[in-house]
Amino acid sequence: MQIKDKAVIITGGANGIGAALARRLVLESAQVVIGDIDKKSGQDLVTELNQKYLNLESFVSIHPITYHFSSYTI
């Protein structure tokens, strides 16, 4: 499967399996958006990935999830 240049949204992506998936997808040059209620861990992960993979054409951002995540529009 080609992941390069695909946009991926990971809910619960700040820790554990979600964070591991985010790391892998960024390594494969995907555009990653992490949604999580743990804003601090999410921001730490975003900072890590954007610094570590700055030379790749990846983009990582964090969006805090509230209980009304389904009302967000992208």
State residue 6's pLDDT score: 86
Q: Are 57 and 30 within 8 A, CB to CB?
A: no
Query: What percent of the chain shows pLDDT beyond 70?
Result: 72
Stated pTM of the model: 0.74
Digit-coded pLDDT (tens) for 23-48? 999 888 888 888 888 888 888 888 88
Query: Distance between CA 32 and CA 61 in Å, rounded?
Result: 7
In a domain, 72, yes or no: no
In a domain, 74, yes or no: no
In a domain, 41, yes or no: yes
| Domains identified in the chain, total number | 1
The yes-or-no verdict on residue 69 having pLDDT over 50 is no
State residue 2's pLDDT score: 86
The yes-or-no verdict on residue 52 having pLDDT over 70 is yes
Instruction: Name the residue range of residue 45's domain.
Output: 7-67
Looking at residue 27, which CATH number applies to its domain? 3.40.50.720
